[in-house]
């Protein structure tokens, strides 16, 4: 069955090539397709295109299909082109010709658009929630280990004292920045395209405000052409947001792989959270974080892939958009998986509390000692020269004292203020 059926079938090779794996991907949209249809037919009844006695019958039929979807019993049958066709077919088989009325005032163009908007809206919110779980974990670790010092690096050279509180807290606050982009993608998705039809509106007196309210969209895409042009825009915004989160996760994963190395020895995990070697009995590899690093690097390429598929397309719907699902749906699952796995692993992280006692970290304290002299009244450049000459002459002996009090430093992490920033961002999701 095809919604565009006109009495002929396309060549089988044509159908296979153009449909691809769209049926499998469409299963993720099935629930949203039904919910969009339920809002649409309520609106159709309000303008007289569906009878008052027909509406409850259609709603009951759609609710039955919706429950089958939630129970995992819904499939798209062989020969059925997509989820929209399957839902309409089931409804018509069960209710008769009244089932054929649900497509009035719609095109597959705005039907799939509303499905995707609802899907992305939910999944973007899910990504945000997973990020918040990780944020909470990082902040808890930041507070737990705020007194434990570790080396800080620039150019991968020993630089200044840092702390595990500072390290964990840095990634927590960086996630807040990422969530700003996630929230922006949510706002792009949270607009109703239903009623734009094929992209040029309808001669039916549709009430688009009504469907916007029924589907709990923040607003609508008012211009019907702009509504169709949003196909690809939502995906691009979401891809950039996923890429931002992936960038943070990938960088953290790299830190873990570095710090778990025996030459660093800053952190460790229980044996069961590492993997081994086939010939080296001593190996305990951080495979989870290596895989996470690779996945996050790949996820950062998704925005470019979406951009290339949608660049220089003319106004109106193009079939190219179908392939965006191939890229976006797996990316959404992958970023959620990485967030969940990172949170799980951090529940079991072990911290080395005595890193800086090793003499190789003595030079971490040179800046502290320069500043100590400056606070005693010695001009900074002279204090710098004195400590520098001690380093050159191999006579430097650190005081190993660290006194940082300003906002965001080792002694004043400002985690409460960072959490306030997070709460402000989460209000964008209605949280």
d(CA 22, CA 195): 24
- Per-residue pLDDT tens over the stretch 25-56: 889 999 999 999 999 999 999 999 999 999 99
Only one residue has tokens 């193009």, namely: 318
Q: What is the pLDDT of residues 92-120, one digit of tens each?
A: 999 999 999 999 999 989 999 999 999 99
Q: Report d(CA 320, CA 316) in Å as an integer.
A: 11
Burial 370-380 (b: 16+ CB within 10 A, else e): bbbbeeeeeee
- Across 276-386, the runs of DSSP E, i.e. the strands, are 350-351
pLDDT tens for the chain, 431 residues long, are 444 455 556 666 766 666 667 677 889 999 999 999 999 999 999 999 999 999 999 999 999 999 999 999 999 988 788 899 999 999 999 999 999 999 999 998 999 999 999 999 999 999 999 999 999 999 999 999 999 999 999 999 999 999 999 999 999 999 999 999 999 999 999 999 999 999 999 999 999 999 999 999 999 999 999 999 999 999 999 999 999 999 999 999 999 999 999 999 999 999 888 887 778 878 788 899 999 999 999 999 999 999 999 998 888 888 888 899 999 999 999 999 999 999 999 999 999 999 999 999 999 999 999 999 999 999 999 999 999 999 999 999 998 889 899 999 999 999 999 999 999 999 999 86
Is residue 197 within 8 Å of residue 104, measured between CB atoms? no
Residue spans of the domains in the chain: they are 12-104, 109-356+407-429, 359-392
Among 389, 359, 325, 353, which Cα is nearest to 112's?
A: 325
Contact between 333 and 28 (Cβ < 8 Å): no
Tokens 């690096």 locate to 153
Residue whose pair of structure tokens reads 């010709």 in the numeric block:
97
Whether residue 91 contacts residue 102, with contact meaning beta carbons closer than 8 Å, is answered with yes
Domain 109-356+407-429, architecture per CATH: Up-down Bundle (1.20)
| CA of residue 94 relative to chain centroid, distance | 39
Q: What contacts 24+ positions apart, CB below 8 Å, involve 72-81?
A: 74/27, 74/30, 75/27, 76/23, 76/26, 76/27, 79/1, 80/1, 80/23, 81/1, 81/2, 81/3, 81/19, 81/23
Question: Six-digit token pair at 379?
Answer: 């001009």
Q: How far apart are CA 323 and CA 426, in angstroms?
A: 31
The whole-angstrom separation of Cα 81 and Cα 271 is 49
Dist. CA 290–CA 286, nearest whole Å: 6
The Cα–Cα gap between 145 and 163 comes to: 8
Q: How many Cβ atoms sit within 10 Å of the Cβ of residue 411? A: 14
- Of 124, 140, 139, 226, the closest CA to residue 174 belongs to 139
The dihedral through the CA atoms of 154, 159, 164, 165 has a sign that is negative
Q: Tell me the C-alpha distance between 185 and 358, whole Å.
A: 47
Q: Tokens in use for 333?
A: 């699952």
Q: Per the structure block, which two tokens stand in for 73?
A: 């019993």
Q: What is the mean pLDDT of the chain?
A: 92
d(CA 44, CA 204) in angstroms, rounded, equals 9
The predicted pLDDT at position 4 comes to 43
Span 247-269, pLDDT tens digits = 999 999 999 999 999 999 999 99
Q: Are the C-beta atoms of 107 and 227 separated by less than 8 Å?
A: no
Question: And the tokens for 283?
Answer: 């190996």
Report which of 206, 44, 221 is spatially closest to residue 117, judged by C-alpha positions. Answer: 221
- CATH architecture assigned to 12-104: Orthogonal Bundle (1.10)
* Secondary structure letter of residue 50 according to DSSP: S
Rounded-to-integer distance, Cα 346 and Cα 113, Å: 38
**Distance (Å) of CA 395 to CA 362, 387, 389:** 11, 9, 8
Tokens of 66: 């919706």
pLDDT at 321 (0 to 100): 87
CB atoms within 10 A of CB 41: 22
For residue 356, the model assigns a pLDDT of 94
CA 273 to chain centre: 25
Q: How many other β-carbons are positioned within 10 Å of the β-carbon of residue 364? A: 23
- What's the whole-model pTM score? 0.92
Is the separation of the CB atoms in 253 and 293 below 8 Å?
A: yes
């Amino acid at each position: 069955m095809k919604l565009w059926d006109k009495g002929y079938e396309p060549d089988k090779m044509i159908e296979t090539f153009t449909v691809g794996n769209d049926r499998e991907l469409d299963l993720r949209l099935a629930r949203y397709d039904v919910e969009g249809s339920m809002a649409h037919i309520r609106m159709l009844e309000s303008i007289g295109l569906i009878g008052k006695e027909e509406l409850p019958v259609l709603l009951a039929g759609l609710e039955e299909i919706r429950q089958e979807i939630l129970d995992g019993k819904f499939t798209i049958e062989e020969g059925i082109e997509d989820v929209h066709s399957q839902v309409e077919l089931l409804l018509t088989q069960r209710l008769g010709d009244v089932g054929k009325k649900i497509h009035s005032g719609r095109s597959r163009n705005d039907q799939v658009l509303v499905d995707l908007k609802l899907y992305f809206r939910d999944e973007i919110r899910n990504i945000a929630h997973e990020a918040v779980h990780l944020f909470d974990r990082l902040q808890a670790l930041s507070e737990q280990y705020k007194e434990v010092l570790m080396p800080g690096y620039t150019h991968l050279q020993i630089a200044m004292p840092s702390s595990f509180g500072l390290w964990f807290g840095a990634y927590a606050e960086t996630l807040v920045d990422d969530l700003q982009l996630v929230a922006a993608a949510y706002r792009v998705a949270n607009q109703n395209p239903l009623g734009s039809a094929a992209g040029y509106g309808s001669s039916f007196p549709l009430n688009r405000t009504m469907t916007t309210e029924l589907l709990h969209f923040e607003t609508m895409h008012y211009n019907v052409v702009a509504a169709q042009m949003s196909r690809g825009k939502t995906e691009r915004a979401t891809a950039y947001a996923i890429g931002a989160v992936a960038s943070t996760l990938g960088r953290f994963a790299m830190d873990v792989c570095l710090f778990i190395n025996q030459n660093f020895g800053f952190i460790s995990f229980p044996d069961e959270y590492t993997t081994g070697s086939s010939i080296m009995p001593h190996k305990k590899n951080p495979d989870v974080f290596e895989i996470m690093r690779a996945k996050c690097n790949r996820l950062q390429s998704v925005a470019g892939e979406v951009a290339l598929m949608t660049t220089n397309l003319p106004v109106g719907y193009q079939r190219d958009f179908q392939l965006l699902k191939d890229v976006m749906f797996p990316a959404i699952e992958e970023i959620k998986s990485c967030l969940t796995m990172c949170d799980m692993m951090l529940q079991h992280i072990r911290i080395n509390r005595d890193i800086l006692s090793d003499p190789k970290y003595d030079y971490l304290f040179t800046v502290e000692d320069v500043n100590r002299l400056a606070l005693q009244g010695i001009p900074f450049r002279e204090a710098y020269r004195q400590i520098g000459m001690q380093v050159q002459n191999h006579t430097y002996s650190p005081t190993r004292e660290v006194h940082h009090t300003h906002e965001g430093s080792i002694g004043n992490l400002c985690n409460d203020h960072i959490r306030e920033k997070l709460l402000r961002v989460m209000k964008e999701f209605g949280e």
